[in-house]
Chain A
Amino acid sequence: MSGYIAFVKKEFTENMKNYRFLILFAVFLIFGIMSAFLAKFTPEILSALAADMEMTSEPVALDAWKQFYKNISGVGFSAFIILFGSCLSNEYSKGTLVLMVTKGLSRKAVILAKYTVAVALMTISYWISYAATYGYTALLWNDTSLAHVVFAAVSLWIVGFLYLSILMIGCVIFKQTFTSILFTGGIVALISLLGMIEPIAKFSPFILTSKNVDLISGKVIPAEFVIPAFVSFILSIFGLLIAIRLFNKKQL
């Protein structure tokens, strides 16, 4: 336990010192702010650029959330995975972990500490981004008809845990950053593909990333999200256990 806490502290410091957290925080914050503004002003920008283009509809608050979910589930999480893809490969290639492990730091603690810090930083970045979108959307539209705004955000956040858990497996298996990222991307793509197959679509965590906007607009009900959220949660824990198991057998 003391090893875990010490390593969590070290990971926090490291993510501050190498600007990883700063970059992610900035990316997520910019996306949060941009979501509302882009939704609001895209029609005006477009009409300014092409005067003869007719805008068919006025932008609404829902458009801001569409931007938010598109950006965060796509670029935001990708940035996260790309930046954290090197969290173990750096230590492998430099050999810094050897000294820690030979001092009695358990391998489980290494994985759990890295995961804890990644999840914590993801959570902070994500909810800052959410707060920015929420604030500016309220400011620009003052629309109160939207339902389950928080619940929709929680469901995408839960998927973040799953992505990071998959990333940990990738990082444990592969010694190169690039292959770990590729592995994570591959598994995420696989999950979305499986999510399209009818009999299992209802249970797939894919719903949590694809139907958030439908939830806000009222096209789907929160109950449909409960099982996928549960599945995502279970898979995250399962993924972590696999990562720890594989790491125990890894030659450092």
Chain B
Amino acid sequence: MNVLTIQNLSKSFGKQRIIDNLNLSVPEGSVFGFIGKNGAGKTTTMKMVLGLLQPDNGEIHVCNEPVGFGQTRTNQYIGYLPDVPEFYNYMTPIQYLKLCGEVIALSKAEISKRSEELLSLVGLYDVTKQIGGFSRGMKQRLGIAQALLTQPKLLICDEPTSALDPVGRKEILDILYKISGTTTVLFSTHILSDVERICNHAAFLNEGKIAVTGTLAEIKALHGHESLLLEFSADKDLQLFKKQKSAEPLLIYSEENNRELILHSRNMENVQKTLLRILAETGICPIKIELMEPSLESLFLEVVK
């Protein structure tokens, strides 16, 4: 089942078309990376899902219920963490969660129980100072706590890590990973290592459309080329290898670096067969043969080209 489906969504600001016929589905239980450049329309899309912006065209369904602009019914399924969450500065974390709990009509006991759990989860349990004195990382963590208070089916995070230092980033990613068992997480980012670390699904947004989407493995398999690294013990081995007639097709797309040779191809199986044959024929023994995983970064650059 899909927690979120977006069909033919379009949105323009003035003459600029930010979102152009976008289609996307987020399966239940996934950690979904929503990847795009700065200004690609990630925030715009998320705001439309939350009913904060009016789409020009298209339909959005959250848990099979349609989203309407200005209406907040579907938001009961969603927890939202904006890129820079802002709270009422004069409150303490516990007071803020109490306000949130009262807004969603939780009982007093339930509010204190959930607040305690969530503040422990995000590491703010003992913090009694006012939110006004919080660092960005702390605000981000409180942001996750407030978003999870409703026990949402879908947690939407807008670039939760982009403004944080390495420690803060690690903390946020760890928290997102921890909750991924109970909640579907959709988070937008342009930091690809974050996606590789915790996501199992992803979509690339480019020029207002979804350029690629699927599980991380699918995306990597579908797109981009694979590479094979060969390291020789001596330069003469490398030169000998290059002289082989049957090695010529392998060298069309290749990089050379000291005693290393990287072969790129879209058909890695053939490359491997040929390579092993050459090695057997010539008796060259490389010290390393490695099949390189396609990186998301190379994919991203390919997509946004």
Residues of A within 8 A of B (CB): 2-3, 5-7, 9-10, 13-14, 17-18, 94-96, 98-107, 248-252
Contact = CB atoms under 8 A, between A and B. Distances in A.
Contacts of A9: 99, 102
A249 B82 contact: no
A95 B75 contact: no
Contacts of A14: 88, 90
Contacts of A6: 99, 102-103
Contacts of B76: 104
A141 to B, nearest CB: 45
B138 interface: no
B80 interface: yes
29 contacts: A2-B103, A3-B103, A3-B104, A5-B102, A6-B103, A14-B88, A14-B90, A17-B90, A95-B85, A95-B86, A96-B86, A98-B80, A99-B80, A99-B82, A99-B85, A100-B103, A102-B50, A102-B72, A102-B75, A102-B80, A103-B149, A103-B150, A104-B72, A104-B76, A104-B103, A104-B150, A106-B72, A248-B70, A251-B53
Nearest to B100: A103
A87 B82 CA distance: 22
Interface of B: 50, 52-54, 70, 72-73, 75-76, 78, 80, 82, 84-88, 90, 99-100, 102-105, 143, 146, 149-150
Q: Could you say which of B70, B72, B99, B103 has the most chain A C-beta atoms within 10 Å of its C-beta?
A: B103
Main SS of the interface on chain B? loop
A30 to B, nearest CB: 26
Contacts of B100: 99-100, 103
Contact of B78 (A10, A98, A102, A251): A102
A90 B214 CA distance: 41
Given A2-B102, A6-B103, A101-B52, A107 B70 contact: yes
Nearest to B102: A6
B146 A99 contact: yes
B52 A2 contact: no
A5 B88 CA distance: 17
Contacts, number: 78
Contact of B104 (A5, A10, A104, A248): A104
B193 to A, nearest CB: 28
B104 A99 contact: no
Which 8 pairs between the two chains have the least Cβ-Cβ distance?
A6-B102, A2-B105, A102-B80, A17-B90, A94-B86, A248-B70, A95-B86, A105-B103
A10 B89 CA distance: 12
A42 to B, nearest CB: 42
A101 B72 contact: yes
Contact of B103 (A94, A103, A248): A103
